Amino acid sequence: MSRIELKKLVKRFKDTAVLSGIDLDVPEGSTLVLFGPSGAGKTVLLRCIAGAVEQDGGEVLIGGEDVTDVLPEHRGIGMAFQNFALFPHMDAFDNIASPLTACGRTADQIRAGVDTVAKLLKIDHVLSHTPKALSNGQKQRTALARALVSRPKVLLLDDPLRNVDAKLRFEMRLELPRLLADQGATVIYVTQDYREAMALGDRIAVLDGGRIIQNGTPEEIYRRPATINIAKLFGDPTINLLDVVPQSDASGVYASLSDRRIQLDPGLSGTVGRECVLGLRPEALSFTDADEGVPVTIEAETPFNEKTVTLVTTLRKREILVSRPAEMPAPTSGMAHITIDPSDAVLFDRQTGVRLDPNGTSHAAEKAA
């Protein structure tokens, strides 16, 4: 009853289309992460669902019902804003209580409701403070409490962790899935942080230029990104991208790197001779003793969040980043060999940027189109 569906949703500002035909289906009780660079239209999309902005075309369905003509206050939605949007002239209690006062609860019911959610989010000691007197973390929790307090069946969370410090962001990232599961709500969660997206989403929809360019599980997005752009948005350090032209012989399909072969999936035989880009995730690459690995020169090594990132160059001076857990031993200078499992290599069309799927043409791209 709280499934969210968007059908051919269009929103224009003046003459520029911000959303051009969004189709989305979020099953009841699941969490969809809406991911994309700023200006991609994420916030506008959320506002269309909430009714704060009116769409120019298409439909928004909540629980199977078209809500286009339903006023925002009657859509039964809880929403948290990136800038918190707390009511500055009310204390935290009244802020959180505002969804309850709207539906005519008694004072006792309101107090009980606010206390429960405030305890859950550990802000019960600051309920008498005005937003001005709250820390950023407390503001964020107050905003979240306000969204949750009436136990809405649809929750829209617009980058709620963006303006809080790293430590709290991490803690909230761990706590949120349980919190959301307890609510049983259907959630759309907007973020620019790919880690947050992977951790929180049952599915991730990648939005760019007003279109959804891929909608898949975190695994699909990370391992089989539909386009080069998506591959670049997920992962830190970012994916290595190398121009290659796949070749084939009796042993299978391969790409050449420093005159050595990077074996590719045999299903990619259709790409032989085509101008492609090979994507290699830094953590999927590893150093090897074996001579059949790709010979590289080690240029520099930087520690990075318990990982060690090594910059290496191929014989033709192409730069590749290799990352490994900090405690894992590896050569630190001179020549070395690197290798990758064929299943971890992804291939994109150089012209269109679309991923080439081993089991057919560009499957993922078709789905997105």
Partner 1 sequence: MDHRSALERILRAIALTAIVVFFMFPIFWIVLMSLQTNETILRSPPSMSFVPTLKNYAAIISGELDSNAGTMSIHFMNNLLNSILLSVFSVALALLLGVPAAYAFARHKFRGSEDIAFTLLSFRFAPPLLVLLPLTLYFQALGLANTYLGLVWVYQLICLPLILWIVRGYFEDISPDIEHAYRIAGHGWFATFRKIALPLAGPGIAAAGLLAFIFAWNNFVFALVLASADKQPVTVGALAFVTASGIQYGQIAAAIVMSIAPTLLLALWAQRYLVEGLSLGAVKG
Partner 2 sequence: MSDVLLDLQQIDKIYNETSHHPVRAVKDLNLSVTQGEIVALLGSSGCGKTSTLRMIAGFEAVSSGEILIKGRPIHKLAPARRNVAMAFEGYSLYPPLTVEENIAFALKSERLSKDEIRKKVAEIAHLLEIEDILDRYPGSISGGQQQRASLARALIRNADLHLLDEPMGQLEPQLRALLRGRLKHFIKERGLTAILVTHDQTEANALADRIAVMEGGVLQQFDSPLHLKDRPANLFTGTFIGEPPMNVFPAQAETDGDDLKLNLADGVCLTYPASAFSDDLKARLLASDAFVIGVRPHAVKITAGGHPARVYANQWLGDQTHIAARFAGQTIVSVRHDRAHHAPGETIGIDVAAHDLHIFAADSGRAFSHGGALA
Residues near partner 1 (CB under 8 A) are 47, 50-52, 71-75, 77-79, 81, 83-89, 98-99, 101-103, 130-132, 136, 139, 146, 150, 163
Tokens representing residue 40 in the block: 């991609």
246 to each of 225, 348, 355, 360, how far by Cα in Å? 19, 11, 14, 16
| Nearer residue to partner 1 within complex by CB, 74 or 125 | 74
Cα 36 to Cα 190: distance, rounded to the nearest angstrom? 8
| Strand duo 240-244 + 186-191: pairing | unpaired
CB within 8 Å of 363: residues ≥ 6 apart:
357
- Among partner 1, partner 2, none, the one that 16 touches (CB under a kind-dependent 5 to 8 A) is none
Angle made by CA atoms 351, 252, 316, in degrees to the nearest 5? 55
303 binds partner 2 (CB under 8 A): yes
218 is a contact residue toward partner 2 (CB under 8 A): yes
- Decide if 79 contacts 158 (C-beta within 8 A): yes
Work out what residue 52 binds among partner 1, partner 2, none; the CB cut-off runs from 5 to 8 Å by kind: partner 1
* Binding segment (CB under 8 A) for partner 2, from list 95-103, 139-147, 226-234, 352-360: 226-234
**Site mask, partner 2, residues 304-323, x = CB under 8 A?**
xxxx---------------x
The span from the CA of 146 to the CA of 342, in Å, is 48
Whole-Å CA distances, 197 to 156, 221, 364? 14, 10, 19
Calculate the CA dihedral of residues 181, 182, 186, 191 and round it to 10 degrees: -60
Partner from partner 2, partner 1, none binding residue 146, C-beta < 5-8 Å depending on class: partner 1
14 interface partner picked from partner 1, partner 2, none, CB below 5 to 8 A per type: none
Give the nearest distance from C-beta 81 to partner 1 in angstroms: 5
Identify the CA nearest to 154 among candidates 178, 174, 184, 130.
184
Q: Quick check: 147 and 155 in contact, CB under 8 A?
A: yes
Residue among 47 and 141 whose Cβ is closer to partner 1: 47
Nearer to partner 2, 191 or 362 (CB): 191
Interaction partner, residue 81 (partner 1, partner 2, none; CB < 5-8 Å by kind): partner 1
Type of residue found at 157: L
Amino acid at 341: D
Rule CB under 8 A: say whether 159 interacts with partner 2: no
CB under 8 Å to 50, separation ≥6 — which residues?
Answer: 72, 75, 77, 79, 156
What residues numbered 185-214 form the site for partner 2, per CB under 8 A?
192-195, 198-200
Question: Is 16 among the residues that bind partner 2 (CB under 8 A)?
Answer: no
Could you identify the residue written with the tokens 């994109």?
348
355 binds, among partner 1, partner 2, none (CB under 5 to 8 A by kind): none
Say which residue the tokens 């085509």 belong to. 274
Out of 21, 209, 237, 342, the only residue in the binding site for partner 2 (CB under 8 A) is: 237
The yes or no reply on residue 133 touching partner 2 (CB under 8 A) is no
Say whether residue 350 binds partner 2 (CB under 8 A).
no
Site string for partner 2, 166-185 (x = CB under 8 A): xx--xx-xxx-xx-------
Say whether residue 165 binds partner 2 (CB under 8 A): yes
| Angle of CA points 222, 223, 226, to nearest 5° | 80
Among the listed ranges 47-55, 122-130, 254-262, 279-287, the one in contact with partner 2 (CB under 8 A) is: 279-287
User: Which are the contacts of 344, defined by CB distance < 8 A and separation ≥ 6?
Assistant: 223, 280, 281, 284
Write out the residues near partner 2 by the rule CB under 8 A: 37-39, 136, 165-167, 170-171, 173-175, 177-178, 192-195, 198-200, 218-219, 222, 232-238, 281-283, 302-307, 323-327
